[in-house]
């Protein structure tokens, strides 16, 4: 009985941690903690709006790089100045996990 309770507690903690990444994505307006997940994006080394990890599966957002009209969820135009969003690529502890795609950008 104690083993079952311990396993349940470990499973519940793991589920809570897994849900925390990306759980702040608002599907109604495609934002994360108030930051738009579309538009002009600048990659920075420090002081980002969001820390982003690129993954191949279980992404919070599918991103398509575009050269014009980044006006839909998941469409990013990379710029050097005047961004809507500043990101920093990280290998661990991201705010958001993304997957680069060629079609169907947005929330999975």
**pLDDT for residue 24:** 85
Contact (Cβ atoms closer than 8 angstroms) between residue 73 and residue 29: no
Number of Cβ within a 10 Å radius of residue 34 = 9
Average pLDDT of 15-30? 67
d(CA 24, CA 8): 25
pTM of this prediction?
0.78
User: Has residue 63 been placed in a domain?
Assistant: yes
Residue-wise burial string across 53-65, b where 16 or more C-beta atoms lie within 10 A, e elsewhere: beeeeebbbbbbe
95 lies in which domain range?
24-100
User: Has residue 86 been placed in a domain?
Assistant: yes
5 has pLDDT over 60: no
User: Has residue 12 been placed in a domain?
Assistant: no
Question: Which tens digit of pLDDT belongs to each residue from 46-86?
Answer: 999 999 999 999 999 999 999 999 999 999 999 999 999 99
Contact (Cβ atoms closer than 8 angstroms) between residue 56 and residue 95: no
Average pLDDT of the chain, as a whole number: 87
User: Has residue 52 been placed in a domain?
Assistant: yes
């Amino acid at each position: 009985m104690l083993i079952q309770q311990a396993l349940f507690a470990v499973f519940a903690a793991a589920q809570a941690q897994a849900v925390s990444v990306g759980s702040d994505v608002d599907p109604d307006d495609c934002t994360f903690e108030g930051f738009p997940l579309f538009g002009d994006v600048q990659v920075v080394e420090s002081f980002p709006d969001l820390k982003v990890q690129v993954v191949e599966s279980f992404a919070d957002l599918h991103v398509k790089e575009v050269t014009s009209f980044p006006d839909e969820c998941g469409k990013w135009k990379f710029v050097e100045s005047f961004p809507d969003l500043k990101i920093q690529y990280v290998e661990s502890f991201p705010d958001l996990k993304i997957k680069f795609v060629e079609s169907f950008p947005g929330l999975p």
